[in-house]
Chains A and B, each alone.
Chain A
């Protein structure tokens, strides 16, 4: 197959094309998700939590009367903002960490931005969970009870636009934190001007060519099919929470810190999760807390589950970017200045992660050879749905302006943008051109027919009104081992049973990326000396914080290699133990022993051998257990690159854009599981096509009410919207460690919007840099409406 990549090292299992280990379980409907584990027929005394949502974008509850609701049969408890359990809760934010590390309340990422009151009386957006929460015998009774709660609202002025929100006189949302709605600077991310290298102004003066561009990214939502859900249950002072958050240990920390109970009294269980995509990030969400409190009050297990409407809970951070870029006539970029205004929405959460933290990281790995770089950012509160985390956080928004600047500067220089990219961008530990970038761009160009690219808008016309165009964008990866240092130690273990089968101890909440398959393959690889095959290894799909090891969190697809690297160490320990057994069996010293493919023999007498299985049977029949715990490798290896090339067809009569073809190119360092990596590459395009052309949260500007919190109007691409996608994998760059891999799960969604927007420009000769690029924007740009 022409698609198959060139492997650096031929390994037995890793890097192969094969089915997922959970394929049968998932395809047959036997894979259990939290909603399945908490069915009423399994838990007859279950209660359901239903929270009150603000109908106003900005309002205060002056009073609340729950007397009628309390009398409704089937209502078991109502908690309001006046109750002591609620009043005594500390202020917080959602998403204490970016998922990489485990943090306490004191060490949460955004300490100055604790702007959320759990079930407070002040609502900051339409949909804000405020005031009261009901526990009832059915969801329907719970909803009926909410209708019976009489709320006296004081409706306040609101603001939706971040630029308006920064102006004097705008309603101030969180005066205790900011008097002008601009989020205060934090140590993470830094000051308003958070990067200032060299002298950008001088750079622009000295440059031969300067360009200025603008790009706007909207607030797409993650759209996991498996809505947020948890079930809380108490046995005396022991709390158990079933959750579909993707970080069980961090959820335990969160519950323990917020409810002030010892960690050994909190148990969190997370089964398979039906898609995470970054929602809520580490998931320190108020609903966990009030559900646990309702369970305590009622003495029954209480389940909380978002409806689809409520699942519009947080989004990608909308950002308005401007960029000025200057270069010499030869295309050597001398100066780059980026300025952004991020719309945080109602709560700060991880907005500064997108606006500051991520671009700062990009400077190190992509702008290292540009002498003058300045970055400035303002994140602003508004009365919209909060921005939090979404797959490709910050990178997607940055790429939309970055890829535009490269395209526009190249055009003004009369230069090929691929040449311009290779001439200027790379990390600081290597000379230009970056080999990884070169590989992805050259292959992408070859496949799409880049050399035949016409001038913007100058291509032929198809079917009377359709124009075609091609475009690309590229971006650095951001989950190499050295960038994962903050996680602390990664834990994994191997239990070798006396019959030679293996129980893999590598807890991670499987939400789709396929790291469970990577772990099984890497375990088989590391134990291949014992003759262990993937089918001999069992992996548990449920993470339980009482089981011993900390779970490793699926940010990006970094778990595809993080636990695998640790399993190499665990396998070495297992080898040592088997050697011991063999030495005892043969009555020789350990250095006389050879173990290969499941056979143990003596170095000197190869014929004197015993199978590993037989050897294990001769011992005490106690499984051999090896645990390993180590930090990700810290050697600064730079990062690999990724690129997307797109071909589009724009109907200039209707404004409709059809993506015809996408080529997704990823350098992985080492491909851990080829079919899984390709699934990420092909699959990610559902998100990029959606965010580029279809998906958008639309507000009624007059009332501040979002209009499309459902999947009929908020359009997620189906198979009918999808182009032909070609996944291309590379092993060019190599990180540290045995495998030296890098995550790609987020990167695959990062370059798509810009590649599509550049292709649209190439097709019609007019730039639209405000996504989603809907038919009305195209017709407007063409002067048709």
Chain B
């Protein structure tokens, strides 16, 4: 069984077997073949090795968005990204957001009548938050249709979609208010 042992292929240098990832502003090193395997996903590395459990692995198939993190500014599915492919990249997980992040706040506080709360069980919520985070960075004043398009890769089985869309509107408002402050 070679899975747990370092790569012994003489053509691969020791340096090549180390990957470095910047996660929430801090660089981490992993020895491929020892700390992680070539087949391990970024989701596995972030959760099991770094204990960043905000992202969830729910479908493990790229179908639900619960594992979404931000890689170099873009929302990616960490269950569909190999850890080794994230070598040298800058990764932001929900743990890296400030406590009062406007997107988190908008999801947490949604209670506008007619829409319900933005989460029930909350398992999909961190994935939605990170998708919205990347989306609003790109498009700070989205239309309702643009919000729908941006979130159509995320599943909320509790079905809080209308309230989630409301939260995105509220988050956009919060961000624009913050930006207009001197």
> Do these two chains interact?
yes
| Chain A residues close to B by CB (< 8 Å) | 1, 3-4, 17-20, 22-33, 35-36, 39-42, 72-74, 137-138, 140-141, 144, 223-227, 272-277, 307-308, 511-514, 674-687, 710-712, 716-720, 722, 724-727
> B50: which A residues are within 8 A, CB to CB?
41
> A33: which B residues are within 8 A, CB to CB?
56, 123
Closest Cβ neighbor of A137 among chain B residues? B4
Q: Are B60 and A27 in contact (CB under 8 A)?
A: no
* B51 partner, pick from A17, A41, A73, beta carbons under 8 A: A41
> B153: which A residues are within 8 A, CB to CB?
718
- Assembly CA distance A36 to B56 (angstroms): 9
Q: Are A674 and B58 in contact (CB under 8 A)?
A: no
> A20: which B residues are within 8 A, CB to CB?
117, 119
Q: Are B110 and A682 in contact (CB under 8 A)?
A: no
Closest Cβ neighbor of B130 among chain A residues? A29
> A686: which B residues are within 8 A, CB to CB?
156-159, 161
- Assembly CA distance A309 to B86 (angstroms): 26
Q: Are A718 and B154 in contact (CB under 8 A)?
A: yes
Q: Are B51 and A42 in contact (CB under 8 A)?
A: yes
Which 8 A-B pairs give the minimum distances between C-beta atoms? A29-B54, A686-B159, A274-B123, A26-B122, A679-B116, A512-B120, A512-B121, A683-B159
Q: Is B26 an interface residue (CB 8 A)?
A: no
B149 to chain A, nearest CB (A): 7
| Chain B residues close to A by CB (< 8 Å) | 1, 3-4, 37, 39, 47-51, 53-64, 66, 93-95, 97, 99, 101, 104-105, 107-126, 129, 148-149, 151-165
Q: Are A19 and B108 in contact (CB under 8 A)?
A: yes
> A675: which B residues are within 8 A, CB to CB?
110-111, 113, 116-117
Extra pairs beyond A29-B129, A513-B120, A683-B160 (8, CB < 8 Å) = A22-B122, A275-B157, A277-B157, A308-B58, A512-B122, A675-B110, A678-B113, A680-B120
- Given the contacts A19-B111, A39-B47, A711 and B61 also touching, CB distance less than 8 Å: yes
Closest Cβ neighbor of A688 among chain B residues? B159
> B163: which A residues are within 8 A, CB to CB?
679, 682
- Given the contacts A512-B158, A686-B161, A719-B152, A29 and B116 also touching, CB distance less than 8 Å: no
Q: Are A275 and B159 in contact (CB under 8 A)?
A: no
* B104 partner, pick from A24, A712, A719, beta carbons under 8 A: A24
- Given the contacts A3-B113, A74-B1, A141-B1, A683 and B158 also touching, CB distance less than 8 Å: yes
Q: Are A74 and B148 in contact (CB under 8 A)?
A: no
- Given the contacts A19-B111, A141-B1, A226-B58, A29 and B154 also touching, CB distance less than 8 Å: no
Q: Are B54 and A679 in contact (CB under 8 A)?
A: no
Q: Are A711 and B125 in contact (CB under 8 A)?
A: no
> B122: which A residues are within 8 A, CB to CB?
22, 25-27, 31, 272, 274, 512
- Assembly CA distance A678 to B110 (angstroms): 12
Which of B37, B50, B161 is the most central at the interface, judged by chain A CB atoms within 10 Å of its CB?
B161
Q: How many Cβ-Cβ contacts under 8 Å join chain A to chain B?
A: 230
Q: Are A711 and B155 in contact (CB under 8 A)?
A: yes
- Assembly CA distance A679 to B164 (angstroms): 11
Which of B48, B61, B117, B118 is the most central at the interface, judged by chain A CB atoms within 10 Å of its CB?
B117
Q: Are B160 and A39 in contact (CB under 8 A)?
A: no
A224 to chain B, nearest CB (A): 7
Closest Cβ neighbor of B79 among chain A residues? A308
Closest Cβ neighbor of B160 among chain A residues? A683
> B108: which A residues are within 8 A, CB to CB?
19, 23-24, 26-28
- Given the contacts A272-B122, A676-B116, A719-B151, A29 and B94 also touching, CB distance less than 8 Å: yes
Which of A30, A144, A681, A710 is the most central at the interface, judged by chain B CB atoms within 10 Å of its CB?
A30
- Assembly CA distance A308 to B59 (angstroms): 5
Which of B62, B101, B110 is the most central at the interface, judged by chain A CB atoms within 10 Å of its CB?
B110
Closest Cβ neighbor of B107 among chain A residues? A27
Closest Cβ neighbor of A26 among chain B residues? B122
Closest Cβ neighbor of B98 among chain A residues? A28
- Assembly CA distance A24 to B126 (angstroms): 11
Q: Are A225 and B58 in contact (CB under 8 A)?
A: yes
- Given the contacts A27-B129, A30-B54, A686-B156, A225 and B151 also touching, CB distance less than 8 Å: no
- Assembly CA distance A27 to B78 (angstroms): 19
Q: Are B111 and A17 in contact (CB under 8 A)?
A: yes
Q: Are B162 and A140 in contact (CB under 8 A)?
A: no
- Assembly CA distance A72 to B56 (angstroms): 30
* A682 partner, pick from B94, B109, B162, beta carbons under 8 A: B162
Cβ contacts A to B, 30 pairs, < 8 Å: A1-B114, A19-B110, A19-B111, A23-B118, A23-B119, A26-B107, A28-B129, A29-B93, A39-B48, A41-B48, A41-B49, A73-B1, A74-B3, A137-B4, A144-B1, A308-B58, A308-B60, A678-B115, A679-B163, A682-B159, A682-B163, A683-B120, A683-B156, A685-B159, A687-B157, A717-B159, A718-B151, A718-B153, A722-B161, A727-B116
Closest Cβ neighbor of B158 among chain A residues? A683
Q: Are B157 and A716 in contact (CB under 8 A)?
A: yes
Q: Are B115 and A682 in contact (CB under 8 A)?
A: yes
- Assembly CA distance A35 to B148 (angstroms): 30
Q: Are A514 and B157 in contact (CB under 8 A)?
A: no
> A511: which B residues are within 8 A, CB to CB?
121
- Assembly CA distance A35 to B67 (angstroms): 13
